[in-house]
Amino acid sequence: MISTLVNRFISPSKVRGQQRVRILEKIREVDTATCCELERLLKICHQAASARISELKKQNRIEETGEMRLTQYGRPAHVYRIKEK
């Protein structure tokens, strides 16, 4: 209940920024990850994880490794890593 009330006062852009940071930190921690893995590890919904990954790719902060892994549903998924500068 309290977290719901607090979230009402946090701007959507701030939430998106926090999610991007969490995704970057998690990829650094685990080296590589799929969207599905990040959803599970960070406990965020697919739509949020996918959108933040797209934003981070556009910002050239992460990149696809060229590898694919199967999701928990048996579907192939791109693997992402931190992009080296």
Over residues 68-75, the mean pLDDT reads 95
Q: What is the pLDDT of residue 1?
A: 46
The tens digit of pLDDT for each residue in 2-49 reads: 455 555 667 888 888 899 999 999 999 999 999 999 999 999 999 999
Over residues 60-80, the mean pLDDT reads 97
Q: What kind and span of H or E run contains 20?
A: helix 12-30
Structurally, the chain folds into a number of domains equal to 1
Q: What is the pLDDT of residue 81?
A: 98
CATH number of the domain at 46, please.
1.10.10.10
How many whole angstroms from its chain centre is CA 22?
7
Task: Say what the pTM is.
Answer: 0.84
Domain that holds residue 18: 2-82
The tens digit of pLDDT for each residue in 7-19 reads: 566 788 888 889 9
